[in-house]
Amino acid sequence: MEQQLTEVTVQPIDLAAWAPYALEVQSAAFGLSPEEVAVRLHIVGRHALQPGVIALGALSAGQLVGFGYGMPNQREHWWSTVIEPHLEARGHGDWLDGVFAVTELHVLPQFQGRGLGSTLIRTLCERSGLPRSILSAIDAETPARRLYRSLGYRDLARPVRFPNTDRPYVVMGARLPLLDRTDRGPDFR
């Protein structure tokens, strides 16, 4: 109960400095093994150096309770090379250029469902200044998938298999700005 009353602010963060805390949030929200955390720490460290990276944290009493980051897609990035053939096969290859890729978005379970995820991704996309956004999500009816749909993301390619993961993914894309509740009407779900 006390936690629900704590103010949460969404603000830019230094991704490299906050990476260990971000991985704690991601572990609690998404489920990561210690080995995966170690690998992801290196990856996040590299992402922090990419041109145009935007990172936001949701902070409550100085603690990171959610975060999201992304960057303009670059075709030479590993993620882009994996999704490229899937998008090309469906005539969506143009979604790889001039688009903002949302790389990670996670909120601690006890802070979910109060608009933080939506605020994080919406603010990231606004700040990108780009006209479209893409991301990949687990290809299942998860809260994340539902949130992305409600913001205007649509399936571009599925299923997409990433090396070293068992679960199929979907690549989704949205025109920016993302939809808000008033755009969606009463039956946006």
Ligand X SMILES: CC(C)(COP(=O)(O)OP(=O)(O)OC[C@H]1O[C@@H](n2cnc3c(N)ncnc32)[C@H](O)[C@@H]1OP(=O)(O)O)[C@@H](O)C(=O)NCCC(=O)NCCS
- Our finding on whether 29 is near ligand X (CB under 6 A) is yes
Q: How many residues sit in the footprint of ligand X (CB under 6 A)?
A: 19
Residue with smaller CB distance to ligand X, 87 or 179: 179
Residues 65-104 that bind ligand X (CB under 6 A): none
d(CA 64, CA 22): 7
H helical segments located in 2-65: 2-5, 15-30, 34-47
- Our finding on whether 167 is near ligand X (CB under 6 A) is no
Among 105, 124, 125, 170, binds ligand X (CB under 6 A): 105
Among 150, 155, 158, 177, binds ligand X (CB under 6 A): 150
- Our finding on whether 116 is near ligand X (CB under 6 A) is yes
- Our finding on whether 106 is near ligand X (CB under 6 A) is yes
Residue with smaller CB distance to ligand X, 29 or 124: 29
Pairing of strands 99-107, 63-72: antiparallel
Q: Three-state SS for 129?
A: coil
- Our finding on whether 142 is near ligand X (CB under 6 A) is yes
**Which residue matches tokens 């949130």?**
147
d(CA 87, CA 96): 8
Name the token pair of 59. 């902070």
d(CA 43, CA 24): 15
Name the token pair of 128. 């990108």
- Residue numbers at the binding site for ligand X (CB under 6 A): 29-30, 105-107, 112-118, 137, 142-144, 146-147, 150
